Amino acid sequence: MNFKINMSAGEFFDLVWPVVLLVSALISIWVLISARKHFSWYQALAWALASIFFPFIVLPLYLAVLLLVRHRTPVAAPPLRYLVPLLYGVVVVTSVIVYNFWDRNSVDSHLARAAQADLLSDRVRAVREYKQALALDDNAHTHKLLAIQFAEMEMWSEAIAEFRLAEAGGEPDDFIHYRLAQMMERINNEGEARVEYEKFLLTESCTREPANSRCNLSQERLAALKSLE
């Protein structure tokens, strides 16, 4: 029987990362409880904190050290023996939950998931992630990326609106005018198409040498549109 999982490496990482964080927290709590029996409180705390960040390195190392010190006289039971690990556990687990929530809902996370969806040609998911990123940060470049997704879905009105927002926000991409001109032709708005082709031909992409290949296409389309007047 052959099982295939339709999941990218990035999606798999997003799935397992919260589990890794929780396991690290549980390992850290156990290390603190165990280390308080064999080491001073600050040494136990150092072991516990190290095991949060490097659990799969520190835990084997800690177990190896325990084998070396197992015959040593245990440290006297400290006061509030169970309260301190309990409070530590509450703080660590709460911090992990808060961090994971913040990380999954940050602008960078939304943009990363949008990029993953784009690679998989999942336009609907990409649009959703870009919109969520824009709700947190109204960024001109993100508007352009969202516009490209709409254009790939042939949602011309939405794409034009997002390209306009990107342009108004100062997005320095010369090809916005070229894209807008093409979409204006798609919706039979020849007047706006001519304006956008003219704007594109005045950009650095067309005035510097060598000119971009789209500049010749723009000149041809502009001449064709003018002949219709």
The residues near 92 (Cβ < 8 Å, ≥ 6 apart) are: 25, 28, 29, 52
pLDDT at 126: 94
CA dihedral 86, 92, 98, 103 (to 10 degrees): -160
The residues near 153 (Cβ < 8 Å, ≥ 6 apart) are: 123, 127
Radius of gyration of the chain (CA): 29
- Residue 4: C-alpha distances to residues 1, 7, 8 (Å): 10, 9, 12
Residue type, 182: Q
pLDDT at 75: 59
Neighbours of 185 (CB within 10 A): 19
The residues near 151 (Cβ < 8 Å, ≥ 6 apart) are: 159, 179, 183
- Alpha-carbon distance of 82 to 51, in angstroms, equals 19
Fold entry, domain 140-226: 1.25.40
- Residue 85: C-alpha distances to residues 29, 50, 91, 97, 225 (Å): 7, 15, 10, 18, 76
Over the stretch 114-138, which tens digit does the pLDDT of each residue have? 998 898 899 999 999 999 999 999 9
Looking from the CA of 189 toward its CB, the CA atoms found within 13 Å total 14
> H-helix or E-strand containing 114?
helix 107-119
Flag residues of the chain having pLDDT under 50.
1-5
pLDDT at 2: 46
- DSSP, residue by residue, 56-90: HHHHHHHHHHHHHHTTSPPPPPPTTTTHHHHHHHH
Instruction: Give the angle 41-44-45 at the CA atoms, nearest 5°.
Output: 85
Over the stretch 181-202, which tens digit does the pLDDT of each residue have? 999 999 999 999 999 999 999 9
- Alpha-carbon distance of 101 to 97, in angstroms, equals 6
Domain ranges of the chain: 9-70+81-104, 140-226
pLDDT at 1: 46
